[in-house]
A and B are shown apart, each in its own frame.
Chain A
Amino acid sequence: MTFVLEEFQLYGPGFLQAAWTVFALTILTIVVSWACGLLAALAQRSRLKSVRAVAGFYIWFIRGTPTLIQIFIIYFGLPQFGIRLSPFTAGVLALGINSGAYIAEIVRGGLTAIPSGQSESALALGFSRSETMRTIILPQVFRIILPAVTNEAISTLKNTSLLSTITVVELTLYAQTLIAATFRPFEFYIAVAVIYLVLTTVLTLLASWLERHYARLS
């Protein structure tokens, strides 16, 4: 027990800092992924074939290649073209673009679940297509896809550990540096696992609160 307390005093603040980094990475990544995902989902319904094709390629490429390779392309590959990003920025961008493809698929599924009469009745009142999408369709889609989107947020959070490979000092890399110094992988990986677990549990609770909130509404 004394061991735990001493260790906690020694490494606790560092872990807290790393956990905060994970949290920040996750939030920013979710913002980027929603921007990419919504854009791609709407682009897939475009009247222009070329726009649909770009969205289709994006989703096909992201879902068909390893996330790690996508991270490497952005962090190690882009500098060849003069685009140098900090590890943190590259990480957010790579994970956001990655998760965006999955969000796009989720949103697409949600959109098909809304009966066409919903937008028809809005158009018939004089709403434009974009207003109809924004005020009538997407609010309904969001409720339907909430569980799937929660899953996606959780895997985004877990995927931040991949960013240890491009020197983002998040939980995984922080633990690795400690392990290199102490040769105690078991304790430190367990500690990291527990912190991830706490973070994902908070996310899950938040989502189920939202779900209950919406269920009450309708």
Chain B
Amino acid sequence: MTPPLLSLREIRKSFGENEVLKGVSLTVDAGEVVSIIGASGSGKSTFLRSINALEVPQSGFMNFEDLSFDFRPESRFFPTAAQLQSLRTRAGMVFQSYHLWPHMTVLENVIHAPIRLLRIPRKQAIEEADALLSRIGLYEKRGSYPSRLSGGQQQRVAIARALAMKPRLMLFDEVTSALDPELVHEVLVLMASLASEGMTMLLVTHEIAFARDVSSRVLFFDQGVIAEAGPPDILRHPESDRLKQFLHRILHNEVVQASAALSTQEGRLS
């Protein structure tokens, strides 16, 4: 039996008085696609960000490949700066608002980290980046600056930038939330193809349909704990009342939006 790729135990995080994560545990095997859903403020983003220690938990344990951390500040196994860097080079992250570097071209954005951190020769890094950019359909934009790209294109480049490090794990933090509705699809398609290739992924998302169709497991966060977890089927047949209510609200919103869109169309027609 192979050990899990990632395991987290009793992760706790507070911001001042506000306890955002109240002891969250999770084990992820290689190749799994784990969707994390929940209302804003439920702790889901903080949890994702604690996996690559962009938010350092106050306590809890973590194992990732050869790394073992104990986040209690006085612990002997509190991660060193070098260990954190090592973790982050292997766990790629994509953000809601892309955060491409505006002073670099698309290609430079993608090759910067592999050249500097993995010490890949520049020529090889460019070849690999070109292959990635072709794959995401943006090869011809390689010389452009990010400001010339649409949101969906920028987000795809951000994914390519993370993939260029050949990560063992990808973390997606609401990556389609800042996009115009018509641009969401191209990003989801790319993520789905990554998932089908066996990339281990954790994603915080509001795209319930995507979570249902692509993930191998769904976690529902509520008030700093995992309130319900299971196969994607729990999105059709939720057990807990809180997940039922959450799904109902989301579904209701979608219906309201759809009918609003419909009525404006009708208004235009008549």
Most chain-B CB neighbours within 10 Å: which of A115, A118, A121?
A: A121
Interface-located stretch among A19-27, A73-81, A127-135, A201-209: A127-135
Interface-located stretch among A48-56, A105-113, A136-144, A158-166: A136-144
Q: A136–B54 Cα gap in the complex (Å)? A: 17
What residue in chain A is nearest B91 (Cβ atoms)?
A124
Q: A218–B105 Cα gap in the complex (Å)? A: 8
Count A-B pairs with CB separation below 8 Å.
62
**Number of residues from B at the complex interface, CB < 8 A:** 27
Taking residues whose C-beta sits less than 8 angstroms from the other chain, chain A's interface range is: 20 to 34
Tell me if A117 is interfacial: C-beta within 8 Å of chain B: yes
- Whether the pair A121, B116 counts as a contact (CB closer than 8 A) is no
Closest CB in chain B relative to A129 CB, distance in Å: 8
- Whether the pair B103, A139 counts as a contact (CB closer than 8 A) is yes
- Whether the pair A128, B99 counts as a contact (CB closer than 8 A) is no
Which chain B residues border A117 with CB–CB below 8 Å? 95, 97, 99
Interface-located stretch among B7-15, B82-90, B181-189, B207-215: B82-90
Query: B87, B100, B112: which contacts A135 (Cβ < 8 A)?
Result: B112
- Whether the pair A125, B145 counts as a contact (CB closer than 8 A) is no
Tell me if A123 is interfacial: C-beta within 8 Å of chain B: yes
Chain B 52-74: CB-based contact to A (< 8 A → 1; otherwise 0)? 10100000000000000000000
Which chain B residues border A218 with CB–CB below 8 Å? 102-103, 145, 147
Q: Which residues of B contact A (CB under 8 A)?
A: 52, 54, 81, 85-89, 92-93, 95, 97, 99-103, 112-113, 116-117, 145, 147, 158, 161-162, 165
Closest 8 CB pairs of A and B: A126-B89, A121-B99, A117-B99, A126-B88, A124-B93, A125-B113, A126-B85, A218-B145
Q: Which residues of A contact B (CB under 8 A)?
A: 115, 117-118, 120-128, 131, 135-136, 139-140, 143, 217-218
18 contacts between A and B (CB under 8 A): A118-B99, A120-B54, A121-B101, A122-B101, A124-B52, A124-B93, A125-B89, A125-B92, A125-B161, A125-B165, A126-B85, A126-B88, A126-B89, A127-B85, A131-B116, A136-B101, A140-B103, A143-B103
